[in-house]
Each structure stands twice: as structure tokens, then as C-alpha cells.
């Protein structure tokens, strides 16, 4: 696990734009700096509870490191227990493949944990972070 640098603790997620295989998160640090996080080669993205005023508790990336399976299961939810065993087995195999990709450094898992509002998990190829210019009028 690696905290995204710079730290966005107590900052805000102000927007998201999703394209084909990409996503851009608009963030504001507690000091007012505006940043964009760009996700490339997005395989899956799930966000719940986007609100007015999305306060960030932590923003972490996982790649080339052991991973708690519960994080990846947030993206790929288990089928209902009543479905046939072949579907439950297929889900377990999917989770294993995705975890192996992350642990092997072939993919990155981004996890935004909120203090309030947007809760986001994304599986992608890479994450880049860019400071946006300020409007000096």
C-alpha cells in the first residue's frame, strides 16, 4: 500500500470524468491546491455515495504488494450464495486473477476512503497525479 503523494487527507473529491478505459478524479487538498489523478487502462471502477462535499480520509494505491482480498471484492462482488457452485467458483477464480495482477505489478488498485461522501475503488494500469495551475487574475 502506498499513500498517494501528496497527501489528500482532509481534502475533497470535487469531480470525476470517466472515458473509455480512463478516469480523471478532480481533487482539492486541504491547503486549496487543485490536483487531477489520471487512471489509465481502467478495468473496473466503482464509486458509491458521491455527495456535495466529499471529504477524503485516505487515498491509497496498491501494486506489487500483498493485498487484502476484501478490497478487490468491493469491485467484483460475490454472487448470491444460492447460485450454482460453478458461478461461485468462477468468481473466486476472477478474484485470484485480479489479486495476482496487482501483487505482480501488472495492475494498480486505487482506494479512496472517505470521511464523508465518495467511496471509490478502481482497478487500472497506472495512476498519475498532476498539480493544476491556479488562476492568477
Per-residue pLDDT tens for 28-65?
Answer: 999 999 999 999 999 999 999 998 889 999 999 999 99
Using 50, 70 and 90 to split pLDDT, how confident is the model at 106? very high
| Domain span at 86 | 2-131
Give the Cα separation of 64 and 67 in Å (integer): 9
Q: Is residue 113 part of a domain?
A: yes
Q: Is residue 22 part of a domain?
A: yes
Q: Is residue 136 part of a domain?
A: no
Using 50, 70 and 90 to split pLDDT, how confident is the model at 136? low
Looking at residue 54, what is its pLDDT? 94
Give the Cα separation of 34 and 14 in Å (integer): 9
Looking at residue 2, what is its pLDDT? 62
Q: Is residue 137 part of a domain?
A: no
The three cell numbers locating residue 91: 468468481
Q: What is the DSSP letter of 81?
A: T
Q: Is residue 17 part of a domain?
A: yes
pLDDT of 85 strictly over 90: yes
Looking at residue 134, what is its pLDDT? 78
Question: What percentage of residues in the chain have a pLDDT greater than 70?
Answer: 96
Give the Cα separation of 101 and 121 in Å (integer): 16
Q: For the chain, how many structural domains are there in total?
A: 1
Of residues 65, 117, 123, the one with CA closest to residue 95: 123
Looking at residue 6, what is its pLDDT? 83
Amino acid at each position: 500500500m502506498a499513500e498517494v503523494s501528496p497527501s489528500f487527507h482532509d481534502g475533497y473529491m470535487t469531480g470525476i470524468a470517466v472515458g473509455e478505459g480512463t478516469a480523471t478524479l478532480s481533487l482539492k487538498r486541504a491547503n486549496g491546491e487543485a490536483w487531477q489523478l489520471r487512471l489509465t487502462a481502467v478495468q473496473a471502477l466503482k464509486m458509491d455515495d458521491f455527495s456535495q462535499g466529499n471529504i477524503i480520509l485516505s487515498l491509497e494505491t496498491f501494486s506489487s504488494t500483498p493485498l487484502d482480498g476484501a478490497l478487490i471484492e468491493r469491485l467484483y462482488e460475490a454472487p448470491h450464495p444460492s447460485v450454482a457452485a460453478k458461478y461461485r467458483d468462477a468468481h473466486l477464480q476472477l478474484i485470484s486473477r485480479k489479486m495476482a495482477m496487482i501483487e505482480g505489478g501488472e495492475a494498480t488498485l486505487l482506494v479512496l476512503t472517505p470521511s464523508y461522501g465518495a467511496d471509490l475503488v478502481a482497478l487500472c494500469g497506472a495512476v498519475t497525479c498532476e498539480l493544476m495551475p491556479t488562476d492568477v487574475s
